[in-house]
Chains A and B, each alone.
Chain A
Amino acid sequence: MSKKVIRPGQDIVASMVPEFKKSLQELIGEEGITEIDIDLTGVEMVDSVGLGAFIATHNTLSQKNGKLTVIHASDDIYSLFKTMRLDQHFEIQQG
């Protein structure tokens, strides 16, 4: 099992999600990564499509017995994920 940290470095919103999704697919599909830490340093906002990207990544990794962890989440994002109970599906660590 291999692990990789991915740092988007920008807000996770609809406009960047296709590219973000593509890089995640490459990591999981081609490089065989099953544990991914998404480092949200510098990320201030996640929109609905962005949330969907996190959940889709979690679903994909779960199929491969992998694990998603969100790290360095800002107060707002941490609070949002907690309120939406996403912490029940994958681990979220505050920045």
Chain B
Amino acid sequence: MNNLIDRETKDIYIEETNQSLDDIENQLITLENMGADIDMAVAKKIFHAMHIIRNGASLLSLTKIKDLSQKIENVLGLICSNRLSPNPEVINILLQGIDRLNQLTDQVDNNEDLNIDEQSVLLTGLTSAVLPDDIKQSVTEVRDIPVPNGKHIFKISEFNLIQVLEQGKNIYILMYDLIKDVQEKNNTPLNFVRFVQRHGEMIDSVFDIKSIGTLEEQEFGSEMPYFVLLASTLSCEQLIKELDLQPYQIKPVNNVIADLIHPKTDPHQKELSSTSIAKNRMTENKRRLEKLNALFCELKFSMDKMPCRLDNTSSLSKARLQTVLLNLHDLLYQENNVLASKVLWKIGRNIRDYAYQSNIKATIDLQCGYIMMDNRILCRLIDPLTAITIKMVRLVQDIEPVQLCLSMGKNEDTIALTISYANPHMIIKKTHIDCHDEEKKLHALSADLKQTFESDKGLTVEIRVPQKVFIVSGYRVKIDNYCYIFPKFNVKDHLANLNPLKWSENDSSFSFYHEDHFIPIVNISNSDISYYKNKNKLIVCEVGGQRFGVAVDELETKELDAFCQSLGKQLAENPLIIYHCLLDNGQIAFIPDMDYLVNRIS
């Protein structure tokens, strides 16, 4: 038998692919360093190299390599057509794909355990996220291409079809009878398939298995209809000649899917779908979400301060409001949720950078599955998780390469992130790392850290993060050595270097001239009413239409997310505060009850 894909062919492919992947990795980093001003020649070179890898995998039926390289090629295609900027996030996702391809080629004969789901989700998400709405749909939309026999339908991703068409290829359905066209010509199915693949890419194929019949049927073996969906740069006439086809055996389908590259939209709609409009829409959505979050916080504050004992009518109203609040919380929870791997990839990137700077080999394999998490928590996890991971790398960095694994698990209330050593031979006797600073940052997220040591696994660090949290965006201020977070939705302005001439005193009440009005000053301090005299900063707040100022010692204009925690028994008695939270440095901060403050305006 003429083995077209003998061991040697496969080995040559693997060797060339490994070399090519190394080159692609370096070129991607070069591309990233170019910033916005990318050299299109480099981008096209990478695209071409990936295209060759994908075609080779297709030819050798290395399904996983083919599927993953197809997705990488899709993203590279967008970069080459200037529809996607190769920013660090994009490059990192591509590098994750390349890493997985490397693993797949290293274990080409035994890669059943290596799934490509996570990389595929990230790459598809990337492809989808940057595209204008009309094209975005194409990533998940499937187009039906009916086979002329009327019995079968090819179901192909519209995005893949667009990519093929944009490469200037034509798409055809080839109709064969394997008995007449292969067997009677003394050819084998394998040689036949390879021959077809040399003239284009087999996007899909299907047997008409029903017409082949069963073992009992007399006509068994008399015909074997087989249909191929082929993408080729050759014209219909050229393919008829090259593949020795009869004209009835080939059907061009470009006209069936022509709308994919020439959308039936008028110029106005086209304008709407441009990237800038899509970006504006995303910004607008973000603003809406922030506004919704602010409304939720304000309502929750009011509800929490509502007296426990109410008459029947008020109790019913409170119960109804609480139902609204719960639903709003669920809605916000869903809106803020993103695929964890879409954010946590940055840890992999940080480790890669650390390894590069330290001249060691260290990688972290992220196994996040399809777990969704609050984006605000995820962003704050990057720093502490990176620091912990680097500490774990340092423990064993004399045993290269260091391979770590960050896996995620989820139960009803919490999400567990576990960092462990991926290679069991890397067991060391150190049972603990100092994570004091990281623990503070994790506690600020209401998360806990636990270290365990097992003789066969080594050190494992587990971080448990609550799934649903109450987050208030606000500004940190310091008053008489106490830290407060003033909710963003109540803060209208921050003033520093106050002009002494703008103060006014009247019957023991104080006010400050701000935006054409005198606004009352509320005393939050335990000290004398004239405490403001020692302070030269003011935070301007508004509650229920009433504006007032609070004089502070220090104020930060940078917004932060406070993970609110209920007050303990002692603090609950203090009417000035409604929640507390922990800051990244371990310090406690209080969230003032703004209703109480506004009521203090004398």
Contacts and interface: CB of A to CB of B under 8 A. Distances in A.
Interface of A: 11, 14, 17, 21, 24-25, 28-29, 44-49, 51-53, 55-60, 63, 75-76, 78-80, 82-86, 89
B215 A21 contact: yes
Contacts of B205: 83-85
B41 interface: no
B66 to A, nearest CB: 10
Given A47-B188, A51-B178, A79-B5, A59 B61 contact: no
Contacts of A47: 182-183, 188-189
A56 B222 CA distance: 12
Contacts of B182: 47-48
Contact of A44 (B1, B7, B179, B209): B1
23 contacts: A21-B215, A44-B1, A46-B189, A47-B183, A51-B224, A52-B179, A52-B212, A52-B220, A55-B209, A56-B214, A56-B217, A59-B209, A59-B215, A75-B5, A76-B190, A79-B5, A79-B60, A83-B61, A83-B193, A83-B202, A84-B207, A84-B226, A85-B204
Task: Give the dominant DSSP class at B's interface.
Answer: mixed
B3 interface: yes
A56 B213 contact: yes
A82 B57 CA distance: 12
Contacts of B217: 56
Nearest to B7: A75
- Of the listed residues B10, B204, B224, the one surrounded by the most CB atoms of chain A closer than 10 A to its CB is B224
B221 A52 contact: yes
Interface residues of B, number: 34
B215 A48 contact: no
Interface in B180-213: 182-183, 188-190, 193, 202, 204-207, 209-210, 212-213
A49 B182 CA distance: 10
Interface in B211-260: 212-217, 220-221, 224, 226
Given A52-B221, A60-B214, A84-B226, A78 B61 contact: yes
B63 interface: yes
Given A49-B183, A85-B207, 19 more contacts: A14-B183, A47-B183, A48-B188, A55-B224, A56-B212, A56-B220, A56-B221, A58-B209, A59-B213, A59-B215, A76-B4, A76-B190, A78-B61, A83-B61, A83-B205, A84-B207, A85-B205, A85-B206, A86-B207
Given A21-B215, A59-B209, A59-B210, A45 B188 contact: yes
A52 B61 CA distance: 21
A79 B59 CA distance: 9
Interface of B: 1, 3-5, 7, 10, 60-61, 63, 178-179, 182-183, 188-190, 193, 202, 204-207, 209-210, 212-217, 220-221, 224, 226
Given A45-B188, A48-B182, A76 B213 contact: no
Contacts of A60: 214-216
A85 B221 CA distance: 19
Contacts of B3: 76
A53 B214 CA distance: 9
Given A55-B212, A60-B216, A17 B221 contact: yes
A52 B215 contact: no
Given A79-B60, A85-B204, A51 B189 contact: yes
Contacts of A80: 61, 189-190, 193
A82 B63 contact: yes
Nearest to B193: A83
Please name the 10 residue pairs, one residue from A and one from B, whose CB atoms are nearest each other, closest first: A79-B61, A48-B183, A48-B178, A60-B214, A59-B214, A45-B1, A55-B212, A60-B215, A82-B61, A48-B182
Nearest to A81: B61
B241 to A, nearest CB: 23
Nearest to A28: B215
A58 B220 CA distance: 13
Contacts of B178: 48, 51-52
Contact of A25 (B7, B183, B216): B216
A45 B191 CA distance: 11
A71 B188 CA distance: 21
Nearest to B226: A84
Nearest to B197: A83
A6 B210 CA distance: 24
A89 B209 contact: yes
Nearest to A14: B183
Contacts of A79: 5, 60-61, 190
Contacts of A55: 207, 209, 212, 224
B189 A84 contact: yes
Nearest to A51: B189
Given A48-B178, A80-B189, A83-B202, A57 B215 contact: yes
Contacts of A56: 212-215, 217, 220-221
Contacts of A11: 1
